[in-house]
Amino acid sequence: MKISARNMIRGTVKKVVKGSVNSEVLIELPGGTEITSIITKESAKTLDLKKGKPVYAVVKASNVMIAVD
């Protein structure tokens, strides 16, 4: 399957915090940067997300803002 989302960043699951309907997933990138994702608890279960699992953080280009110092 190929998806239109332009951004797919490889990383590894560092932590999964289960909420009541959503879960927070921390993904660690190779350089050490962390990315936080909020997905439904059901999706986290379906994808069997757990510490150490290789994943992609996927972001649609229209959801990326830009900041400057």
State the minimum distance, in angstroms, from the CB of residue 15 to its own copies: 11
Q: Is 39 in the site for its own copies (CB under 8 A)?
A: yes
* Tokens matching residue 47: 């994808």
Q: How far apart are CA 67 and CA 21, in angstroms?
A: 31
- Within 8 A by CB and 6+ apart from 27, the residues are 11, 12, 13, 14, 34, 35, 36, 37, 55, 57
Q: Is 12 in the site for its own copies (CB under 8 A)?
A: no
State the minimum distance, in angstroms, from the CB of residue 51 to its own copies: 14
**Residues forming the site for its own copies (CB under 8 A):** 1-9, 17-25, 27, 30-31, 33, 35-40, 42-44, 46-49, 53-69
